[in-house]
Amino acid sequence: ACSRKNTRNASLHPLWQSPLTIPGGTRQSPINIQWRDSVYDPFLKPLKISYDPTTCLHIWNNGYSFLVEFDDSTDRSIIVGGPLENQYRLKQFHFHWGAINDWGSEHTVDSKFYPAELHLVHWNAVEYPNFEEAVMEGNGLAVIGVFLKLGARHEGLQTLVDALPAVRHKDTVIEFDVFDPSCLIPSCPDYWTYAGSLTTPPLTESVTWIIKKKPIEVDEDQLEAFRTLLFTSDGEEERRMVDNFRPLQPLMNRTVRSSFH
Ligand SMILES: CCOC(=O)CCc1ccc(S(N)(=O)=O)cc1
Ligand SMILES: [Zn+2]
């Protein structure tokens, strides 16, 4: 009897058709953050965030998520302190979310999923000439992760939500010229931090993750608006942009530190 060739490669993630695990990867993301296993580090500084809202450029749908990109040609929107040795420049922020509210975040806390997760992506402009170079270096990137939970409507997020219909299809972009992303970051200073990777290709192990302990609240309509976006370009058969999160990766030989007791 002929054996049916196993055409479904179980190690390939449907969304990216890329390996789920990077061969030799020892610091992949996302991970589950087990609160009781995180280690309080009294030497962690407060994270200092200073964004200039006029550095905002545009919103676009890149086929994985929707991104708000910033002018990173100067040090006008930066973060410093926290676990970071250098100052890092804001390049873009984007989100990951689920088809339903039971899941959607990339990181989990004590195995709990949130319905969505915000990533603010910064690069080490002190040591590297541009983002593309920094992506390849162990201390090249710093990403702030913020969990979204179902609750009250978020007025700051609403200005983004109102722009989403204009970027419904992959590779569509609209100008977005003033936005202050610090309105999306909880005022509580508490965070976890660990050494990890990008969660979409090229999956490079170049990210210092800073995961805020407190979530922000958004309402059902705002989450539903995310789910009206498409993975597909105009004219292709429509596939709704949902479940754009990577599966959890092994912690391996890593410790998650907390900035709080
Ligand atoms: C130089 C090409 O590299 C890129 O464009 C990487 C973009 C990229 C930035 C951030 C993330 S995340 N989800 O880990 O915050 C994934 C991918
Ligand atoms: Zn991300």
Average pLDDT over all residues of the chain: 94
Q: Give the DSSP letter string of 82-114.
A: TT-SS-EEEEEEEEEE-SSTT---SSEETTBPP
| Residue 76 Cα to ligand 2 middle (Å) | 22
Read off the pLDDT of residues 144-196 as tens digits, 9 standing for 90 and up. 999 999 999 999 999 999 999 999 999 999 999 999 999 999 999 999 999 99
Amino acid, res. 150 = L
In the numeric block, the tokens 């479940």 are attached to: 243
Q: Which ligand 1 atom sits nearest the alpha carbon of residue 201? A: 17
Q: Give the closest residue to 31 by CA, choosing from 178, 196, 198.
A: 196
ipTM reported for the complex, 2 dp: 0.98
Token pair, residue 122, equals 């910064």
Ligand that comes closest to the CA of residue 120: 1
Say if residues 184 and 215 touch (Cβ distance below 8 Å).
Answer: no
Residue 149 sits at the vertex; the CA angle it makes with 104 and 154, to the nearest 5 degrees, is 120
The answer to whether residue 129 scores a pLDDT higher than 60 is yes
Q: Give the closest residue to 21 by CA, choosing from 254, 247, 174, 176.
A: 247
Report which protein residue has its CA nearest ligand 1's atom 14.
Answer: 198
Residues around the ion ligand 2 (C-beta < 5 A): 119
Q: What are residue 251's phi and psi, to 5 degrees?
A: -65, -35
Pocket test for ligand 1, best of 70, 143, 200 (most atoms within 8 A of CB): 200
The answer to whether residue 1 scores a pLDDT higher than 50 is no
| Residue 42 Cα to ligand 1 middle (Å) | 30
Residue 14 sits at the vertex; the CA angle it makes with 238 and 106, to the nearest 5 degrees, is 100
Q: State the average pLDDT over residues 70-76.
A: 98
Q: Which residues line ligand 1 (CB under 6 A)?
A: 119, 121, 132, 135, 143, 198-200, 202
| Residue 104 Cα to ligand 1 middle (Å) | 18
Read off the pLDDT of residues 226-241 as tens digits, 9 standing for 90 and up. 999 999 999 999 999 9
More confident position, 4 or 209:
209
In the numeric block, the tokens 């990173």 are attached to: 72
* Cα(131)–Cα(227) distance, integer angstroms: 29
The answer to whether residue 6 scores a pLDDT higher than 50 is no
Token pair, residue 216, equals 């922000």
Residue 177 sits at the vertex; the CA angle it makes with 171 and 181, to the nearest 5 degrees, is 90
The answer to whether residue 98 scores a pLDDT higher than 50 is yes
Contacts of 155 by beta carbon, 8 Å cutoff, 6+ apart? none
Q: State the average pLDDT over residues 126-131.
A: 98
State the SS3 of 226-237.
HCCCECCCCCCC
Task: State how far the alpha carbon of 104 is from the alpha carbons of 23, 91, 108, 167, 210, in Å.
Answer: 25, 23, 10, 20, 18
Helix/strand/coil for 180: coil
Q: How confident is the model at residue 3 (pLDDT cuts 50, 70, 90)?
A: very low
| Residue 3 Cα to ligand 2 middle (Å) | 40
The pTM of the full predicted model, rounded to 2 decimals, is 0.94
Read off the pLDDT of residues 9-58 as tens digits, 9 standing for 90 and up. 556 665 555 556 677 799 999 999 999 999 999 999 999 999 999 999 99
